[in-house]
Amino acid sequence: MAVLFLALLCCSCAKKAIESPENISLQAAGESEATISAVQPTKSEALLAMQCYNNAFYHQYGTYGPSYKAYYYSDVTHSGRMDFWKQAEAIETLIDAYTIHNDPDLRNKMVYLYNGMRDAYGLLWSSNTFNDDVIWGALMCVRAFLITNDGGMKDMAKNNFDMVWARAWDNSLGGGLWWTTANNTKNACVNAPAAICAMYLYQVTGDASYRDKARMIVDWMVSKLYVPGTGEVKGAINAAGVITEGARTYTQGTFIGACSMLHNAYPSAGYKAMAAKAMDYTQNSMCNAQGLLPDEYDTEDCQGFKAIFARWACKFVRDHGYQNAYAAWLNYNAAQAWSYRNSNGLMWGQWWRRTPDSYVNSFETTCGVAMMNGVWLF
């Protein structure tokens, strides 16, 4: 109860935005002038951000065998559960926070949310025609397994990855996974996270075929979607071989994550350099003049993309010692997000103005939580 009281008390004290790394004085609408600085949010603030998110959206709705089951609501009005893939990404955000804080309440909630996914969707998701949805779910499962050592989580990850591989990989366009079962486009949003998932499956099963699949996927992406001169990762290529989508933060982030993991298996293959190039493109060509990541608010499906970028970008910085190159930029984004939280401690994806108290959804509000906890990896 004391923890909850502290969370609610701290969440009610929203700060101003941070416009640049230097101390500056600014006047925000309806607020008094103050001097602020873009410093990394504290570790306790990162935990608080996750707790505020759970306070707003977490719903435990029954028992599941000897355990419990839960889901995240889709928005602050509690109008229903999050969509399948968004739910998986929200659970990954919780996994990010647990990785930093080792908090038993976060671990329990992760297990109950995983049980809720099993309860709602079963063990094999072959009825879902979106291959990327299935891969996001499998990736969540294998990351949860690394925390709990629950064999059911590993089996769900493996069986759903294998199902997607069987139905989505072919030699059209030289390889690559189709986005949906309609086989119209091959997208970064399924291929890059599938490579990450495959590397985790290699780690937990010892089966080298998963490592080989990860390399096949990324090498195909490099040949079709990656722009070596700039580091841009195109979003999709259609069956006729025409690029149909440009870069997004989550496609950049998952490509970075996949290359980062492949570097450990193939250190002389240039994957780490490509990941760094993709980081540079995101920072220099997708951000504003101050280095703030883009909003991506064109559709509701896009609003949580920055959480996925934060996850894999921060891990890349930690794993390969790139703090000098990227830590200040990532810390700036974390500080900016937190400075514009609302009275409930929630942060939407528009990190340049205050988060509304009236309405936000549970996908857009993963962004700041993932970034604040991600920077504590390094």
pLDDT one-digit tens code per residue, 151-208: 999 999 999 999 999 999 999 999 999 999 999 999 999 999 999 999 999 999 999 9
Which of 128, 158, 134, 150 is closest to 64 using CA atoms? Answer: 150
pLDDT for 40 equals 84
- Domains (range + CATH), the chain: 2-377 (1.50.10.20)
Say how far apart CA 99 and CA 81 lie, in whole Å. 25
Q: Which residues contact 97 (CB under 8 A, 6 or more apart)?
A: 46, 47, 50, 103, 106, 369, 373
pTM to 2 decimal places: 0.90
Say how far apart CA 94 and CA 311 lie, in whole Å. 11
Say how far apart CA 58 and CA 77 lie, in whole Å. 12
What pLDDT band is residue 38 in, cutting at 50, 70 and 90? Answer: low
Task: Examine the pLDDT at 361 and tell me if it is beyond 60.
Answer: yes
Which of 7, 24, 100 is closest to 335 using CA atoms? Answer: 24
Which of 172, 183, 177 is closest to 195 using CA atoms? Answer: 177
Transcribe 71-114 into DSSP letters: EEBSBTT--SBPPHHHHHHHHHHHHHHHHHH--HHHHHHHHHHH
Task: Examine the pLDDT at 23 and tell me if it is beyond 80.
Answer: no
pLDDT for 340 equals 97
What pLDDT band is residue 4 in, cutting at 50, 70 and 90? Answer: very low
What pLDDT band is residue 115 in, cutting at 50, 70 and 90? Answer: very high
Contact in structure between 281 and 232 (CB atoms under 8 Å): yes
Contact in structure between 258 and 195 (CB atoms under 8 Å): yes
Task: Examine the pLDDT at 233 and tell me if it is beyond 90.
Answer: yes
Q: What is the mean pLDDT of the chain?
A: 91
